[in-house]
Amino acid sequence: MPTTTQEWAAFIALVPYFSACHAESKLQDRLVVVVLRCEEPILSREALLLQAGLSFFANDLNVDLALMQFVREGWLEPIPDRPFTFALNLSHAKRAKRCVPSCSRPAVNSG
């Protein structure tokens, strides 16, 4: 069984390769709300899940995919020496108060 440190290293390594675009949107939307409302500069994965009311989904792959998406889009910055802890990019969050990460945006109907 991998340690938390090994899981964190894998998470960071996989950020560029995985997308949450096909993850459950309700789960991702709830996490976005927490990120946008958060005033703390540091957030743990557990705190995010608790504030989003998703603690029962702690082992759901979609949670990690959503967090990877937020890291890739600049909403969250992983803190390398603190497993599953992120620095909130406050300037990005404030600029995006009316927006959500790209995968949470509704699809544009082209026709």
Number of domains in the chain: 1
CATH number of the domain at 30, please.
1.10.10.10
On whether residue 1 sits in a domain, the answer given is no
Q: Has residue 93 been placed in a domain?
A: yes
* Model confidence band, residue 92 (pLDDT cutoffs 50, 70, 90): low
Enclosing domain of residue 81: 20-101
pLDDT value for 65 = 87
Tokens of 17: 């390769």
Report if residue 15 sits inside a domain: no
Give 78's pLDDT tier (boundaries 50, 70, 90): very high
Distant-in-sequence, close-in-space partners of 4: CB < 8 Å, separation ≥ 6: 83, 84
> What does the pLDDT read at residue 23?
65
Instruction: Choose between 52 and 93: higher pLDDT.
Output: 52
For residues 2 and 30, give the distance between their C-alpha atoms in angstroms, rounded to a whole number.
Answer: 28
Tell me if 37 is assigned to some domain: yes
Q: Cα(43)–Cα(45) distance, rounded to whole angstroms?
A: 7
pLDDT beyond 90 at 86:
yes
Establish if 43 belongs to a structural domain.
Answer: yes
pLDDT of residue 93: 55
Q: Which of 96, 18, 85 lies closest to 46, judged by CA? A: 85
Residue 64: pLDDT band with limits 50, 70, 90: confident
Q: Give pLDDT tens digits for 4-63.
A: 999 999 999 999 888 767 666 788 888 888 988 888 899 999 999 999 998 887 778 888
Give the residue from 71, 62, 63, 80 showing the smallest Cα distance to 101. 71
Asked whether residue 4 is domain-assigned, the answer is no
Q: What are the contacts of 3-6 at 24+ separation with CB within 8 A?
A: 4/83, 4/84, 5/83
